[in-house]
């Protein structure tokens, strides 16, 4: 939207990407969802229909519209139609319990909730005053009430809120993170650049679209004219079929998903390479190396809900190709540098002083810049605390390497202090994960009468594989200092959050039960 007579400026909004794509890439495939397929020209028409239908239904500027939906064309469409109408999109985690869904709808003040039929039980607790719209025939009839003419934009400032994304709420009620039109625009372009996506690309939706708005990929793909291939859930056999038969070139996934794919019976080396971007937890060098063996080109990124998803990207040094696979994977496990539009990062001590860039001194990772969220919806005090000192505090502990790349070592609450020595649980987890029988693992500090606390590993073994605690501990001794090795190993399934992250706090609560403090 032009501002006054300033012909040199237009407020940035990712909505414009689809408007342009309808002309520039009109005949190219925009979205594939099962048997449905839409060209960019047709899909732009659907976005305009959604926007105009919302306005006809009474939507006012900045009204919140919630979607509780599996990965699908309607949820992808909502990323354009809702903000184009002047509303704010609230994409809700589909793995949440009904009570959490109710809380998010009420806290955000959403006036309309669209949902996948399979998720109907999850909306049962939502107040009756909130209008419901089931995706499917009812949603299509709703679109028919709108028109395909251009929709007059209501945006006046690119820093207006575009979407509210709720954190997983593992330590309390979910917090609503506010994304702006400007931030989403810039992050979306960066994802296309960093993931090397262009008009010939076919992107597979293995990443939940509700998770940081799919790391802003819903907005970025139309910017370059790439095709979206939607799947409602990850079924490894089907994903491997799509890799081979559907021309998939790119996808994003957490390390847990990569582990699932890499260890599935259908796993095999691809005849052509596919690019994958991973984040959500620090990937071990083991899974990084394994993905390389399968002919995946892996990009390791790191960020949080508060940074629109990825903020940093691991950039390999020029000499990386000459390194052996193990050393190259070790370097690839670092979280890296700010991506092309992100901003700035530091690793600081408790007084906000930069720690030495020596790859050893721990500090907290802090951010500022274009893709730091505007704040927490309705929680100014929480926002002020997170932004203290003029930087966003991630709560993650890491080191700064001499080349400017950061490497995470722990969450503040996960650091193990054993006999006065700091132990990185990530380092221990990487050692455990390198055992050939290990599928996944988590390491926490558990109480010890002599050392205060010591590492304990919780391990899930690969199907058909066997190992004893002594096998795992002995394996770690060849890779870690003695004090860093786990003193105990427990086998079984690992507790997870609704977004698939391992819930270390559940393990910690169990191990420290009955003690007044969880630190010795």
| Distance in angstroms (rounded) separating the CA atoms of residues 124 and 116 | 13
In a domain, 348, yes or no: yes
In a domain, 220, yes or no: no
Whether residues 124 and 155 fall in one domain: yes
CATH number of the structural domain spanning residue 50:
3.40.50.12780
Residues 6+ apart with CB under 8 A from 249: 197, 200, 201, 202, 203, 274, 275
Whether residues 121 and 7 fall in one domain: yes
In a domain, 331, yes or no: no
Write down how long the chain is.
520
Q: Which conformational region is residue 307 in: left (phi greater than 0), alpha (psi within -120 to 50 degrees), or beta? A: alpha
Whether residues 381 and 495 fall in one domain: no
Whether residues 11 and 119 fall in one domain: yes
Alpha helices in 59-180 (DSSP H): 73-85, 98-108, 137-144
Whether residues 429 and 372 fall in one domain: no
Q: Which pLDDT score, from 0 to 100, does residue 449 have?
A: 83
Q: Which pLDDT score, from 0 to 100, does residue 2 have?
A: 47
Instruction: Considering only CA atoms, give the Rg of the chain.
Output: 23
Helices 255-262 and 285-293: crossing angle, nearest 10°? 50
Whether residues 110 and 162 fall in one domain: yes
In a domain, 263, yes or no: no
Whether residues 454 and 484 fall in one domain: yes
As for how many domains the chain has, the answer is: 3
Of the residues 180, 210, 240, which one is the last residue of a structural domain?
180
In a domain, 519, yes or no: no
Whether residues 162 and 50 fall in one domain: yes
Q: Which pLDDT score, from 0 to 100, does residue 373 have?
A: 98
- What is the extent of the structural domain holding 135? 1-25+40-180
Of the residues 411, 443, 471, which one is the last residue of a structural domain?
411
Whether residues 142 and 7 fall in one domain: yes
Whether residues 407 and 430 fall in one domain: no
In a domain, 299, yes or no: no
Element (H, E) at 46: helix 40-56
Whether residues 404 and 462 fall in one domain: no
CATH number of the structural domain spanning residue 442:
3.30.300.30
| Distance in angstroms (rounded) separating the CA atoms of residues 397 and 212 | 22
Residues in the chain, pLDDT under 50: 1-2, 170-171
Edge to edge, what strands does the sheet with 88-91 contain?
131-134, 112-115, 64-68, 88-91, 161-166, 176-180, 375-376
Whether residues 18 and 155 fall in one domain: yes
The two tokens of residue 299 are 């990009």
Contact assessment for residue 436 and residue 262, using Cβ atoms and an 8 Å cutoff: no
Of the residues 156, 180, 204, which one is the last residue of a structural domain?
180
Q: With b meaning 16 or more CB within 10 Å and e meaning fewer, what string describes 430-465?
A: bbbbbbeebbbbbbbbbbbeebbbbbbbbbbbeeee
Contact assessment for residue 373 and residue 308, using Cβ atoms and an 8 Å cutoff: yes
In a domain, 34, yes or no: no
């Amino acid at each position: 939207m032009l501002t006054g007579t300033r012909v040199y400026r237009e407020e940035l909004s990712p909505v414009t990407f689809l408007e342009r794509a309808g002309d520039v890439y009109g005949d190219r495939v925009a979205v594939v969802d099962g048997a449905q397929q839409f060209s960019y020209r047709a899909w732009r028409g659907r976005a305009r229909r959604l926007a105009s239908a919302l306005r006809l239904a009474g939507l006012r500027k900045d009204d919140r519209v919630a979607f509780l939906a599996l990965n699908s064309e309607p949820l992808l469409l909502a990323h354009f139609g809702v903000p184009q109408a002047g509303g704010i999109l609230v994409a809700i985690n589909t793995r949440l319990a009904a009570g959490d869904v109710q809380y998010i709808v009420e806290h955000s003040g959403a006036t309309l909730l669209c949902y996948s039929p399979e998720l109907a039980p999850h909306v049962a607790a939502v107040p009756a005053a909130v209008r419901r719209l089931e995706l499917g025939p009812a949603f299509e009839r709703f679109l028919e009430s709108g028109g395909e003419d251009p929709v007059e934009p209501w945006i006046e400032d690119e820093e207006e809120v575009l979407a509210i994304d709720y954190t997983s709420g593992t330590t309390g009620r979910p917090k609503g993170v506010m994304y702006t039109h400007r931030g989403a625009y810039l992050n979306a372009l960066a994802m296309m650049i960093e993931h090397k996506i262009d008009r010939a690309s076919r992107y597979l939706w293995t990443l939940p679209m509700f998770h940081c708005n799919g790391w802003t990929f819903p907005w970025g793909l139309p910017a370059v004219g790439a095709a979206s291939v939607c799947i409602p859930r990850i079924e490894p056999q089907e994903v491997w079929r799509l890799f081979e038969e559907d021309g998939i070139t790119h996808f994003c996934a957490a390390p847990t998903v990569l582990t699932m794919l890499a260890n599935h019976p259908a796993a095999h080396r691809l005849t052509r390479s596919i690019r994958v971007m991973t984040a959500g937890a620090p990937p071990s060098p083991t899974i990084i190396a394994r993905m390389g063996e399968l002919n995946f080109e892996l990009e390791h990124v790191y960020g949080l809900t508060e940074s629109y998803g990825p903020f940093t990207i691991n950039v390999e040094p020029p000499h990386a190709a000459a390194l052996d696979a193990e050393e190259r994977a070790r370097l690839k496990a670092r979280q890296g540098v700010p991506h092309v539009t992100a901003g700035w990062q530091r690793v600081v001590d408790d007084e906000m002083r930069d720690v030495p860039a020596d790859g050893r001194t721990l500090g907290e990772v802090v951010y500022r810049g274009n893709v730091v969220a505007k704040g927490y919806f309705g929680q100014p005090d929480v926002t002020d605390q997170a932004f203290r000192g003029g930087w966003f505090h991630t709560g993650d502990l890491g080191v700064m390497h001499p080349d400017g790349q950061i490497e995470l070592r722990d969450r503040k609450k996960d650091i193990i202090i054993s006999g006065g020595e700091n132990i990185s649980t990530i380092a221990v987890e990487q050692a455990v994960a390198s055992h050939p029988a290990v599928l996944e693992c988590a390491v926490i500090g558990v109480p010890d009468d002599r050392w205060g606390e010591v590492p304990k590993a919780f391990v899930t073994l690969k199907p058909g594989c066997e190992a004893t605690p002594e096998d795992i501990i002995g394996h770690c001794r060849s890779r870690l200092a003695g004090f860093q090795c786990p003193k105990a190993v427990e086998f079984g399934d690992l507790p997870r959050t609704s977004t698939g992250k391992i819930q270390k706090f559940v393990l910690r609560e169990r191990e420290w039960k009955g003690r007044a403090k969880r630190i010795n």
